[in-house]
Amino acid sequence: MTAILTLDLEDLDRYADALRAAAGAIVSGDLEGARSGIEPITFERWEGRLRYAAEAGPATDPAERRSRDVTDPMRAQVFLRDEMTCTYCGGRCVPRNVLVAFSDLFPDELPYHPNYRHGAIHPMYWALAPEADHKFAHARGGTGDIANLTTLHTMCNARKSDALVTDLPAVDRPEHVIGWDGLLAAYPRIIAMGDSHGRRHSAASYHDRWLRHFSRKPE
């Protein structure tokens, strides 16, 4: 395993490009082609200083608890509305459920841990997975509806700290991001191939639920 200590936009593109190549092979039914596609990013683990919110345990402050009351269907709507693009850096996003499907198919090459355990998860989860973050926090008068949510990479959300999303500089979407679907078109095929050749990291209902949230049908 290669320990990764830092992430930047070049890493984001490196992971997204590798997964896109693998997804194309999976859609064609080519398992070895998919393995070749992810080869540039295999056997990496996150050893950096960023920490995922889930590691902090349950929220105790009422405002913080309310800020976490974002449902998965709401998240899916926000990600689709924002065209799978991070509003902080302008980079491509791949929903966590799609990344988990890749980890199901390639559990050793692309390790996953549900709580983002340090040293036990691939950096692509930090670099690509989006979160639906509040533009205005509840403590600052923000509401809990979709209009007050925006798409941020997990790493971007961790880095922006308590800054208001509306205070962040506007970013342009690079040309290669336009038309990006977060690899959702390939998601059902990735799940199916993982069921045949990989090892599940979650209950069977996990992917079924996310397929419904994104209005996709299983293979």
* pLDDT the model gives residue 160: 67
Question: Dihedral of the CA atoms 209, 70, 6, 39 (nearest 10)?
Answer: 10
Q: Domain segments of the chain: what residues?
A: 2-47+61-213
* pLDDT the model gives residue 50: 72
* Chain centre to alpha carbon of residue 2: 21
Mean pLDDT over 152-174 rounds to 65
Mean pLDDT over 176-197 rounds to 93
Least confident of 10-19, 58-67, 90-99: 58-67
Mean residue pLDDT across the chain: 85
How many alpha carbons fall within 13 Å on the CB side of residue 16?
26
Contact by Cβ (8 Å): 112, 201: yes
- Nearest-angstrom CA–CA distance, 43 and 143: 41
What residues contact 212, with CB distance under 8 A and at least 6 apart? Answer: none
* pLDDT the model gives residue 150: 92
- Nearest-angstrom CA–CA distance, 209 and 133: 21
Q: Is the pLDDT of residue 3 over 70?
A: yes
- Nearest-angstrom CA–CA distance, 152 and 79: 9
Convert the pLDDT of each residue in 115-135 to its tens digit: 888 899 999 999 999 999 888
* pLDDT the model gives residue 151: 94
* pLDDT the model gives residue 135: 83
Mean pLDDT over 46-75 rounds to 61
